[in-house]
Structure 1
Amino acid sequence: MADISDRLGFSSLQSKWGWFAALGVLLIVCGFIALANVALATVVSVYYVGILMLIGGVVYLIHAFQVRSWEQALVWALSGVLYLLAGFFAFENPLLASAVLTLFLAIALLVAGVFRIWVGWRMRPVKGWGWVLLSGIITALAGVVIALGWPVNSLWILGLFLACDLLLQGWSMLAFGLAVRR
């Protein structure tokens, strides 16, 4: 067993268990901070998406000057400009951007849920198909609930998702660090 764990790098992970645990604790603290002020966490998440769009826009524009044909360059440049505009929009009006992102989130959850329901229903002869179906129903309902509360819930829903993600990642990193320690 020690031979396999050495080849997979578990011994090096074991020596770093404290870093995983510390990262977990830090993420948990950040999650509680985000949970304490979900409106601010929503704005932070909108700014994060805005930064990613600005970076993506710059990358698209750089790529536009490296393609050979003018038609492709035009498409890449137009995509880059649209990404840049969306990124600037996120910084210019984060509340409106959060409303747009919340609506996209609701639509994405609804579509993903309906797809999972369809997959679960198609899996009926397979053992465990009900879990996939239940997952789809819960995801679709989350999309419907978010859509029904839109645009009012756009002030807090993205921050709540960020807080929950930070808490889950923190707990998993902490649990992983403590498990690796053993």
Structure 2
Amino acid sequence: MADAYEQASLQELRVKWGWFVALGLLLLACSLLAFANLFIATVVSVYYVGILMLLGGVVYLVHAFQVRGWEHFLSWALSGLLYTLAGLFAFLNPLLASAAFTLLLAVALVVAGVFRVFVGRRMKPGKGWGWIVFSGVVTVLAGCVVWLGWPVNSLWILGLFLAVDLFFQGWTLVVFGFGVRT
């Protein structure tokens, strides 16, 4: 039965293969635009995060009025207010916000890399543990490079990450679309 379900799902994907390719090409075009002007791509990234924070803040504030009890209202309202202020900050001063986001990115990369090295070393008797450690070391180094270039690189680093992500997502969808076509 699972085999029949998988065949039906694969058939549905085959019918839509062109949509995957088209979306992939659109994302590749967007990645080229982002690569062409990393500063604008960085500002767009900051605005995107700002919109998400504003929406989250509004949801928190609406939820604050739905809960009972002063202590619950206060914590939800304060959270909503902080999210809303952070979102507004991203719109009012995108350059300063990009510096803050870049520093947070650097810290997150270092922490994630150290964690990956730790996990890889704990898996040492197993096969492939070295690749996990290697991945962690590369992530720590990437975080350190971002950190050492901060705050100057905050003008372009978020745009670069966006451009690279759009490129790989686009390429993946193009390859996937042509792969399910046959």
Q: What's the counterpart of residue 27 of structure 1?
A: 27
- Counterpart of 2:4? 3
The alpha carbon displacement at 1:132 in A equals 0.3
Does residue 139 in structure 1 map to residue 139 in structure 2?
yes
Q: In structure 1, what is the Cα distance between the partners aligned to 2:135 and 2:68?
A: 46
Opposite residue 130 of structure 2, the aligned amino acid is G
What letter corresponds to residue 101 of structure 1 in structure 2?
A: F
Deviation at 1:3, TM superposition (A): 2.9
Q: Residue 45 in 1 paired to residue 7 in 2?
A: no
Give me the whole-angstrom Cα distance separating, in 1, the residues matched to 2:3 and 2:151: 56
When normalised by structure 1's length, the TM-score is 0.97
Residue 2 of structure 1: how far off its partner (Å): 7.4
When the two structures are superposed, what TM-score results if normalisation uses the length of structure 2? Answer: 0.97
Q: Which letter maps to 2:85?
A: L
Hey, what's the Cα distance between the residues in 1 that align with 2:177 and 2:104? 35
Q: SS in structure 2 opposite 1:66?
A: coil
> Number of residues paired by the alignment?
181
5+ residue gaps, structure 1:
none
Q: CA–CA distance in 2 between the matches of 1:94 and 1:153?
A: 14
Q: Which residue matches 1:82? A: 82
Residues 110-121 of structure 1 mapped to structure 2, 5 A cutoff: 110-121=110-121
Q: Which amino acid aligns with 2:20?
A: F
* Structure 2 residues without counterparts, runs of 5 or longer: none
Hey, what's the Cα distance between the residues in 1 that align with 2:85 and 2:121? 41
Q: What is the match of residue 125 of structure 1?
A: 125
- Percent identity among equivalent residues? 65
Partner residue, 1:164: 164
* 3-state SS, counterpart of residue 126 of structure 2: coil
Q: Does 1:73 align with 2:73?
A: yes
- Tell me the SS of whatever aligns to 1:125: coil
Residue 26 of structure 2 aligns to a residue in which SS?
helix
CA distance in 1, matches of 2:82, 2:3: 54
Q: Which amino acid aligns with 2:4?
A: D
Amino acid paired to 1:97: A
Give the distance between the partners of 2:146 and 2:3, measured in 1 at CA.
Answer: 49
Q: Aligned partners of 1:114, 1:18: CA distance in 2, in Å?
A: 41
